């Protein structure tokens, strides 16, 4: 089946649009209605700034610089090979009660976005539960899901999908 050819000028216009400036404003100016119907105002979301973390969390030689737990297909079990990693982070949180951690669960791209969001939540919850058993306090931990929305590897196939079946551990200032 043949595709419609889009006039080159239209394509150029579309390319030009990506330079719209972004800001932290939550309520943009109303946009003029072009061909009838109610007008729609454009809003640009703000960003979140990163902060400074102690070297022990970022030094590549420290186990605490590692932040990802990978899961098998359709599984929410934290595999044995990640127990030392989760234990080290739980110990850090136990010894540094001022720190908070956001655990983000992720899935591969197959299937419904909302169902995948729920699957990612199960992975994040599994890591959080283990952290709590190892001494981190409930108020230091938040488990959330990004579902399939933020793939680490945007490729297709099992190798890419395996990278995306993941839980990431972020500290205050990193989210």
Partner 1 sequence: MSGFAIKLRFLRLLALAAFALLLTPAHGQLTVEITGAGANRIPVAIAEFGGDAASSRIVTSVIRADLERSGLFRMVDSSGVALTEATSPAFGDWKSRGADALAAGSIGASDNGRQEARFRLYDVNKQAALGGSAFVTSKTMLRAAGHRIADIIYEKLTGEPGVFSTRVAYVVRAGAARYELHIADADGQNAQVALISREPIISPSWSPDGGRLAYVSFENKKPVVYVHSLASGKRVVVANFKGSNSAPAWSPDSRRLAVVLSKDGGSQIFLVNADGSGAQRLTTDTAINTEPNFSPDGQHLYFTSDRGGSPQIYRMNIGGGDVQRVSFEGTYNVSPRISPDGKSMAFISRRDGGFRLSVMDLASRQVQVLTDSNKDESPTFSPNGRMVLIATEMGGRGVLSAVSLDGRIKQRLSIPAGDVREPAWGPFNR
Judged by CB under 8 A, which stretch of 52-60, 83-91, 93-101, 103-111 contacts partner 1?
A: 103-111
- Site size with partner 1, rule: CB under 8 A: 63
Q: How far is CA 150 from CA 60, 62, 116, 120, 130, in A?
A: 23, 26, 12, 11, 24
Of the residues 85, 86, 126, 143, which one makes contact with partner 1 according to CB under 8 A: 143
Residues 15-74 close enough to bind partner 1 by CB under 8 A: 15-18, 20, 22, 26-28, 30-31, 33-48
In the complex with partner 1, the residue whose CB is nearer, 84 or 156, is 156
Give φ, ψ of 141 to 5 degrees. -120, 135
CB count within 10 Å of CB 77 equals: 10
Length of the chain, please? Answer: 175
Closest CA relative to residue 89, chosen from 37, 127, 60: 127
Secondary structure element (H or E) that encloses residue 41, with its range: none
Residues 113-132 as x/- pattern, contact with partner 1 by CB under 8 A: xxx-xxx-xx--x-------
Binding site for partner 1 (CB under 8 A): 1-7, 9-11, 13-18, 20, 22, 26-28, 30-31, 33-48, 102, 104, 110-115, 117-119, 121-122, 125, 142-147, 149-150, 170, 175
């Amino acid at each position: 089946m043949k595709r419609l050819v889009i006039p080159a000028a239209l394509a150029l216009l579309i390319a030009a649009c990506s330079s719209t400036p972004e800001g932290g404003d939550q309520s943009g100016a109303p946009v003029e209605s072009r061909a009838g119907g109610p007008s729609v105002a454009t809003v640009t979301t703000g960003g979140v700034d990163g902060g400074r973390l102690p070297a022990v969390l970022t030094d590549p030689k420290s186990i605490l610089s590692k932040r990802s737990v990978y899961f098998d297909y359709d599984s929410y079990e934290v595999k044995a090979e990640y127990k030392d990693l989760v234990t080290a982070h739980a110990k850090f949180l136990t010894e540094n009660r001022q720190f908070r951690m956001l655990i983000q669960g992720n899935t591969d791209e197959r299937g419904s976005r909302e169902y995948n969001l729920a699957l990612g939540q199960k992975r994040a919850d599994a890591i959080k539960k283990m952290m709590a058993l190892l001494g981190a306090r409930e108020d230091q931990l938040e488990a959330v899901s990004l579902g399939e929305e933020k793939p680490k590897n945007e490729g297709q196939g099992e190798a890419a999908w395996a990278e995306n079946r993941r839980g990431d551990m972020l500290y205050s200032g990193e989210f």
